[in-house]
Structure 1
Amino acid sequence: MNNFTTTLVIRRSKLLVVLIAFLFGFTTSINNFTDYAAYTEYIGRIISMSDTTGNDSRLYRAVTRPLFHHRFYWAIITLEVIFTISFLVGAYQIYRKLAAPRSEFHEAKKFAIIGFSSAIFVYQVLYVIILNEWFDMESSVNRNAFYWARSNIEYMFFGLIYLLAVKDN
Protein backbone atom coordinates (compact mmCIF):
# COMPACT_ATOMS: atom_id res chain seq x y z
CA MET A 1 0.00 0.00 0.00
CA ASN A 2 1.23 3.48 -0.87
CA ASN A 3 2.39 5.53 2.13
CA PHE A 4 -0.20 8.28 1.70
CA THR A 5 -3.51 6.94 0.47
CA THR A 6 -7.01 7.83 1.59
CA THR A 7 -7.39 4.30 2.95
CA LEU A 8 -4.30 4.69 5.12
CA VAL A 9 -5.44 8.12 6.34
CA ILE A 10 -8.85 6.69 7.30
CA ARG A 11 -7.21 3.76 9.06
CA ARG A 12 -4.87 6.06 10.98
CA SER A 13 -7.78 8.28 11.96
CA LYS A 14 -9.54 5.21 13.34
CA LEU A 15 -6.43 4.42 15.35
CA LEU A 16 -6.48 8.00 16.66
CA VAL A 17 -10.14 7.71 17.73
CA VAL A 18 -9.30 4.54 19.68
CA LEU A 19 -6.21 6.14 21.25
CA ILE A 20 -8.28 9.14 22.38
CA ALA A 21 -10.77 6.77 24.01
CA PHE A 22 -7.85 4.99 25.69
CA LEU A 23 -6.47 8.30 26.96
CA PHE A 24 -9.87 9.17 28.42
CA GLY A 25 -10.14 5.78 30.13
CA PHE A 26 -6.57 5.97 31.40
CA THR A 27 -6.95 9.43 32.95
CA THR A 28 -10.34 8.49 34.40
CA SER A 29 -8.86 5.35 35.96
CA ILE A 30 -5.95 7.30 37.42
CA ASN A 31 -8.39 9.80 38.93
CA ASN A 32 -10.53 7.01 40.37
CA PHE A 33 -7.55 5.39 42.10
CA THR A 34 -5.74 8.51 43.27
CA ASP A 35 -8.86 10.24 44.63
CA TYR A 36 -10.80 7.17 45.67
CA ALA A 37 -12.24 8.69 48.87
CA ALA A 38 -13.70 11.74 47.15
CA TYR A 39 -15.27 9.74 44.32
CA THR A 40 -16.65 7.11 46.69
CA GLU A 41 -18.25 9.88 48.71
CA TYR A 42 -19.60 11.40 45.47
CA ILE A 43 -21.18 8.09 44.39
CA GLY A 44 -22.40 7.48 47.95
CA ARG A 45 -24.24 10.78 48.08
CA ILE A 46 -25.97 10.01 44.80
CA ILE A 47 -26.98 6.51 45.85
CA SER A 48 -28.11 7.67 49.30
CA MET A 49 -29.99 10.51 47.60
CA SER A 50 -28.80 12.82 50.37
CA ASP A 51 -28.76 16.02 48.35
CA THR A 52 -31.53 15.55 45.82
CA THR A 53 -34.45 17.95 45.79
CA GLY A 54 -38.09 17.61 44.81
CA ASN A 55 -38.17 13.83 44.90
CA ASP A 56 -39.56 12.85 48.28
CA SER A 57 -41.79 10.21 46.70
CA ARG A 58 -38.69 8.40 45.40
CA LEU A 59 -36.54 8.46 48.52
CA TYR A 60 -37.46 4.83 49.24
CA ARG A 61 -34.90 3.97 46.54
CA ALA A 62 -32.01 5.41 48.54
CA VAL A 63 -29.31 3.00 49.71
CA THR A 64 -27.41 4.39 52.67
CA ARG A 65 -25.04 1.48 53.31
CA PRO A 66 -21.42 2.52 52.67
CA LEU A 67 -20.50 -1.05 51.69
CA PHE A 68 -22.94 -0.84 48.77
CA HIS A 69 -21.47 2.54 47.76
CA HIS A 70 -17.97 1.04 47.69
CA ARG A 71 -19.10 -2.02 45.75
CA PHE A 72 -20.96 0.05 43.19
CA TYR A 73 -17.97 2.33 42.76
CA TRP A 74 -15.67 -0.68 42.38
CA ALA A 75 -17.98 -1.99 39.64
CA ILE A 76 -17.51 1.31 37.82
CA ILE A 77 -13.73 1.24 38.32
CA THR A 78 -13.45 -2.38 37.19
CA LEU A 79 -15.43 -1.80 34.02
CA GLU A 80 -13.48 1.39 33.26
CA VAL A 81 -10.22 -0.52 33.59
CA ILE A 82 -11.59 -3.25 31.31
CA PHE A 83 -12.55 -0.81 28.57
CA THR A 84 -9.28 1.09 28.95
CA ILE A 85 -7.22 -2.10 28.52
CA SER A 86 -9.45 -3.10 25.60
CA PHE A 87 -8.74 0.24 23.92
CA LEU A 88 -5.01 -0.15 24.47
CA VAL A 89 -4.93 -3.68 23.04
CA GLY A 90 -7.26 -2.62 20.22
CA ALA A 91 -5.06 0.36 19.33
CA TYR A 92 -1.99 -1.87 19.26
CA GLN A 93 -3.70 -4.43 17.03
CA ILE A 94 -5.02 -1.74 14.68
CA TYR A 95 -1.57 -0.16 14.51
CA ARG A 96 0.01 -3.50 13.59
CA LYS A 97 -2.50 -4.00 10.76
CA LEU A 98 -2.58 -0.48 9.26
CA ALA A 99 -1.15 -1.70 5.95
CA ALA A 100 -2.75 -5.16 6.02
CA PRO A 101 -5.49 -6.38 3.69
CA ARG A 102 -9.03 -5.26 4.51
CA SER A 103 -10.08 -8.52 6.22
CA GLU A 104 -7.04 -8.49 8.51
CA PHE A 105 -7.51 -4.83 9.38
CA HIS A 106 -11.18 -5.44 10.11
CA GLU A 107 -10.30 -8.37 12.39
CA ALA A 108 -7.84 -6.15 14.29
CA LYS A 109 -10.73 -3.93 15.43
CA LYS A 110 -12.27 -6.48 17.80
CA PHE A 111 -10.72 -5.24 21.07
CA ALA A 112 -11.53 -1.63 20.18
CA ILE A 113 -15.15 -2.73 19.58
CA ILE A 114 -15.14 -4.41 23.01
CA GLY A 115 -13.76 -1.18 24.51
CA PHE A 116 -16.39 1.05 22.94
CA SER A 117 -19.20 -1.38 23.84
CA SER A 118 -17.98 -1.67 27.44
CA ALA A 119 -17.68 2.10 27.80
CA ILE A 120 -21.19 2.60 26.44
CA PHE A 121 -22.41 0.04 28.99
CA VAL A 122 -20.68 1.83 31.89
CA TYR A 123 -22.02 5.26 31.08
CA GLN A 124 -25.47 4.28 29.82
CA VAL A 125 -26.33 1.57 32.34
CA LEU A 126 -24.43 2.58 35.47
CA TYR A 127 -24.62 6.37 35.18
CA VAL A 128 -27.70 7.19 33.11
CA ILE A 129 -30.03 4.32 34.01
CA ILE A 130 -28.99 3.45 37.57
CA LEU A 131 -27.52 6.64 39.02
CA ASN A 132 -29.64 9.12 37.09
CA GLU A 133 -32.96 7.38 36.55
CA TRP A 134 -33.12 5.21 39.66
CA PHE A 135 -31.23 7.30 42.20
CA ASP A 136 -32.32 10.62 40.68
CA MET A 137 -28.83 12.03 40.15
CA GLU A 138 -30.22 14.76 37.90
CA SER A 139 -32.11 16.22 40.88
CA SER A 140 -28.94 16.38 42.94
CA VAL A 141 -27.95 19.89 43.88
CA ASN A 142 -24.17 19.25 43.80
CA ARG A 143 -23.73 15.77 42.33
CA ASN A 144 -25.08 15.83 38.80
CA ALA A 145 -22.86 13.90 36.37
CA PHE A 146 -25.64 13.25 33.86
CA TYR A 147 -24.30 15.53 31.13
CA TRP A 148 -20.75 14.30 31.69
CA ALA A 149 -21.91 10.70 31.26
CA ARG A 150 -23.97 11.64 28.22
CA SER A 151 -21.01 13.29 26.52
CA ASN A 152 -18.98 10.12 27.14
CA ILE A 153 -21.73 8.01 25.60
CA GLU A 154 -21.83 10.30 22.57
CA TYR A 155 -18.08 9.98 21.99
CA MET A 156 -18.10 6.21 22.48
CA PHE A 157 -21.00 5.77 20.05
CA PHE A 158 -19.27 8.05 17.56
CA GLY A 159 -16.07 6.01 17.91
CA LEU A 160 -17.88 2.70 17.49
CA ILE A 161 -19.83 3.86 14.46
CA TYR A 162 -16.77 5.43 12.85
CA LEU A 163 -14.69 2.33 13.50
CA LEU A 164 -17.28 0.08 11.87
CA ALA A 165 -19.19 2.13 9.33
CA VAL A 166 -16.57 4.19 7.50
CA LYS A 167 -15.10 2.22 4.64
CA ASP A 168 -11.39 1.53 5.04
CA ASN A 169 -10.75 -0.77 2.06
Structure 2
Amino acid sequence: MNKLTTASVIRRSKVIIVFTAALFGLTTLTNNLTDYAAYADFIGRVLSMNDTEGNDSRRYRAITSNIFHHRFYWAIISLEIIYTFSCLVGTYQLCRKIDAPRNEFHESKKFAIAGLVTGIFVYQALYIIILNEWFDMDYSAHRNTYDWAENNIAYMFLGLIYLTAVKDS
Protein backbone atom coordinates (compact mmCIF):
# COMPACT_ATOMS: atom_id res chain seq x y z
CA MET A 1 0.00 0.00 0.00
CA ASN A 2 2.77 2.42 -0.94
CA LYS A 3 0.74 4.62 -3.24
CA LEU A 4 -1.92 7.06 -2.15
CA THR A 5 -5.23 5.23 -2.19
CA THR A 6 -8.51 5.72 -0.40
CA ALA A 7 -7.66 2.78 1.87
CA SER A 8 -4.28 4.29 2.79
CA VAL A 9 -5.89 7.65 3.56
CA ILE A 10 -8.51 5.94 5.75
CA ARG A 11 -5.80 4.08 7.65
CA ARG A 12 -3.78 7.23 8.20
CA SER A 13 -6.87 9.12 9.33
CA LYS A 14 -7.48 6.42 11.95
CA VAL A 15 -3.95 6.90 13.25
CA ILE A 16 -4.54 10.65 13.51
CA ILE A 17 -7.83 10.19 15.38
CA VAL A 18 -6.26 7.86 17.95
CA PHE A 19 -3.18 10.08 18.27
CA THR A 20 -5.39 13.14 18.82
CA ALA A 21 -7.17 11.33 21.68
CA ALA A 22 -3.75 10.46 23.15
CA LEU A 23 -2.60 14.07 22.79
CA PHE A 24 -5.74 15.25 24.59
CA GLY A 25 -5.01 12.73 27.36
CA LEU A 26 -1.42 13.95 27.70
CA THR A 27 -2.58 17.55 27.90
CA THR A 28 -5.28 16.73 30.44
CA LEU A 29 -2.85 14.72 32.57
CA THR A 30 -0.32 17.54 32.46
CA ASN A 31 -2.96 19.98 33.69
CA ASN A 32 -4.21 17.59 36.38
CA LEU A 33 -0.73 16.95 37.72
CA THR A 34 0.85 20.40 37.40
CA ASP A 35 -2.18 22.16 38.90
CA TYR A 36 -3.23 19.34 41.20
CA ALA A 37 -4.50 21.61 43.99
CA ALA A 38 -6.94 23.52 41.80
CA TYR A 39 -8.42 20.41 40.18
CA ALA A 40 -8.55 18.51 43.48
CA ASP A 41 -10.41 21.51 44.95
CA PHE A 42 -12.83 21.39 42.01
CA ILE A 43 -13.54 17.67 42.60
CA GLY A 44 -13.88 18.29 46.35
CA ARG A 45 -16.39 21.09 45.88
CA VAL A 46 -18.49 19.00 43.51
CA LEU A 47 -18.48 15.94 45.77
CA SER A 48 -19.27 18.14 48.81
CA MET A 49 -22.03 19.85 46.81
CA ASN A 50 -20.78 23.16 48.25
CA ASP A 51 -21.84 25.49 45.49
CA THR A 52 -24.86 23.82 43.96
CA GLU A 53 -28.19 25.61 44.13
CA GLY A 54 -31.76 24.40 44.36
CA ASN A 55 -30.96 20.86 45.44
CA ASP A 56 -31.54 20.82 49.21
CA SER A 57 -33.51 17.56 49.01
CA ARG A 58 -30.45 15.82 47.53
CA ARG A 59 -27.75 17.15 49.85
CA TYR A 60 -27.66 13.81 51.69
CA ARG A 61 -25.54 12.64 48.75
CA ALA A 62 -22.69 15.03 49.61
CA ILE A 63 -19.36 13.49 50.58
CA THR A 64 -17.22 15.87 52.60
CA SER A 65 -14.24 13.63 53.30
CA ASN A 66 -11.04 15.18 51.92
CA ILE A 67 -9.48 11.72 51.77
CA PHE A 68 -12.33 10.50 49.56
CA HIS A 69 -12.03 13.60 47.37
CA HIS A 70 -8.37 12.91 46.71
CA ARG A 71 -8.98 9.21 46.13
CA PHE A 72 -11.75 9.96 43.66
CA TYR A 73 -9.52 12.45 41.89
CA TRP A 74 -6.69 9.90 41.75
CA ALA A 75 -9.14 7.38 40.28
CA ILE A 76 -9.84 9.87 37.49
CA ILE A 77 -6.12 10.50 36.95
CA SER A 78 -5.32 6.76 36.98
CA LEU A 79 -7.97 5.98 34.39
CA GLU A 80 -6.80 8.91 32.28
CA ILE A 81 -3.26 7.48 32.42
CA ILE A 82 -4.58 4.11 31.24
CA TYR A 83 -6.59 5.63 28.39
CA THR A 84 -3.73 7.92 27.32
CA PHE A 85 -1.11 5.15 27.45
CA SER A 86 -3.42 2.79 25.53
CA CYS A 87 -4.05 5.41 22.84
CA LEU A 88 -0.30 6.09 22.55
CA VAL A 89 0.47 2.38 22.21
CA GLY A 90 -2.49 2.08 19.82
CA THR A 91 -1.09 4.90 17.69
CA TYR A 92 2.29 3.17 17.59
CA GLN A 93 0.73 -0.21 16.71
CA LEU A 94 -1.38 1.32 13.94
CA CYS A 95 1.67 3.12 12.52
CA ARG A 96 3.69 -0.10 12.56
CA LYS A 97 1.02 -1.90 10.53
CA ILE A 98 -0.06 0.99 8.31
CA ASP A 99 0.98 -0.86 5.13
CA ALA A 100 0.29 -4.40 6.39
CA PRO A 101 -2.42 -6.68 5.03
CA ARG A 102 -5.94 -5.94 6.20
CA ASN A 103 -6.05 -8.61 8.95
CA GLU A 104 -2.78 -7.43 10.46
CA PHE A 105 -3.87 -3.79 10.44
CA HIS A 106 -7.19 -4.78 11.98
CA GLU A 107 -5.42 -6.70 14.77
CA SER A 108 -3.26 -3.65 15.52
CA LYS A 109 -6.36 -1.74 16.68
CA LYS A 110 -6.59 -3.49 20.09
CA PHE A 111 -4.85 -0.85 22.21
CA ALA A 112 -6.53 2.00 20.37
CA ILE A 113 -9.96 0.46 21.00
CA ALA A 114 -9.12 -0.15 24.67
CA GLY A 115 -7.90 3.42 25.05
CA LEU A 116 -10.95 5.02 23.48
CA VAL A 117 -13.33 2.82 25.49
CA THR A 118 -11.49 3.69 28.72
CA GLY A 119 -11.68 7.39 27.84
CA ILE A 120 -15.40 7.10 27.19
CA PHE A 121 -15.79 5.33 30.56
CA VAL A 122 -13.89 8.08 32.41
CA TYR A 123 -15.99 10.90 31.03
CA GLN A 124 -19.35 9.09 30.97
CA ALA A 125 -19.20 7.21 34.28
CA LEU A 126 -17.13 9.57 36.41
CA TYR A 127 -18.07 12.99 35.06
CA ILE A 128 -21.55 12.63 33.58
CA ILE A 129 -23.08 9.95 35.81
CA ILE A 130 -21.33 10.46 39.15
CA LEU A 131 -20.30 14.12 39.26
CA ASN A 132 -23.10 15.56 37.17
CA GLU A 133 -26.09 13.35 37.86
CA TRP A 134 -25.42 12.15 41.40
CA PHE A 135 -23.62 15.18 42.84
CA ASP A 136 -25.58 17.78 40.83
CA MET A 137 -22.60 19.43 39.19
CA ASP A 138 -25.02 20.86 36.61
CA TYR A 139 -26.61 22.97 39.37
CA SER A 140 -23.33 24.79 39.93
CA ALA A 141 -22.82 27.99 38.01
CA HIS A 142 -19.06 27.91 38.71
CA ARG A 143 -18.10 24.25 38.49
CA ASN A 144 -19.82 22.61 35.56
CA THR A 145 -17.81 20.41 33.17
CA TYR A 146 -20.79 18.63 31.66
CA ASP A 147 -20.33 20.10 28.15
CA TRP A 148 -16.58 19.45 28.28
CA ALA A 149 -17.12 15.78 29.22
CA GLU A 150 -19.90 15.40 26.66
CA ASN A 151 -17.62 16.71 23.89
CA ASN A 152 -14.88 14.27 24.89
CA ILE A 153 -17.32 11.37 24.86
CA ALA A 154 -18.66 12.38 21.44
CA TYR A 155 -15.16 12.61 19.94
CA MET A 156 -14.01 9.29 21.37
CA PHE A 157 -17.24 7.47 20.57
CA LEU A 158 -17.26 8.66 16.97
CA GLY A 159 -13.54 7.85 16.74
CA LEU A 160 -14.24 4.36 18.07
CA ILE A 161 -16.99 3.80 15.53
CA TYR A 162 -14.78 5.06 12.71
CA LEU A 163 -11.81 2.99 13.88
CA THR A 164 -13.81 -0.23 14.03
CA ALA A 165 -16.55 0.12 11.41
CA VAL A 166 -15.09 1.94 8.42
CA LYS A 167 -13.46 -0.43 5.93
CA ASP A 168 -9.71 0.06 5.66
CA SER A 169 -8.86 -2.72 3.17
Would you say 1:38 and 2:38 are equivalent positions? yes
Q: Which residue of 2 aligns with 1:159?
A: 159
Counterpart code for 2:78? T
| Distance in 2, Cα, partners of 1:147 & 1:5 | 37
Find the residue that maps to 1:52 and give its secondary structure. Answer: coil
Q: Which runs of 4+ in 1 moved over 3 A?
A: none
Unaligned 5+ segments in structure 1 are none
Aligned-pair distance for 1:141?
A: 2.0
Q: Which residue of 1 aligns with 2:123?
A: 123
| Distance in 1, Cα, partners of 2:6 & 2:142 | 47
Q: Provide the alpha-carbon RMSD of the alignment.
A: 0.5
Q: Which residue of 2 aligns with 1:136?
A: 136
Q: Which residue of 2 aligns with 1:150?
A: 150
Q: Which residue of 2 aligns with 1:23?
A: 23
Q: Which residue of 1 aligns with 2:61?
A: 61
Q: Which residue of 2 aligns with 1:47?
A: 47
Aligned-pair distance for 1:2?
A: 3.4
Find the residue that maps to 2:63 and give its secondary structure. Answer: coil
Superposition pairs of residues 82-101 of structure 1, within 5 angstroms: 82-101=82-101
Residue by residue over 1:62-108, the C-alpha shift from the partner in whole angstroms, topping out at 9 and shown as x without a partner, is 00110000000000000001000000000000000000000000000
Question: Number of paired residues?
Answer: 169
| Distance in 2, Cα, partners of 1:3 & 1:21 | 27
Counterpart code for 2:85? I
| Distance in 2, Cα, partners of 1:82 & 1:33 | 15
Q: Which residue of 2 aligns with 1:7?
A: 7
Find the residue that maps to 2:155 and give its secondary structure. Answer: helix
Find the residue that maps to 2:10 and give its secondary structure. Answer: helix
| Distance in 1, Cα, partners of 2:151 & 2:4 | 33
Name the % identity: 66
Counterpart code for 2:57? S
Counterpart code for 2:70? H
Find the residue that maps to 1:3 and give its secondary structure. Answer: coil
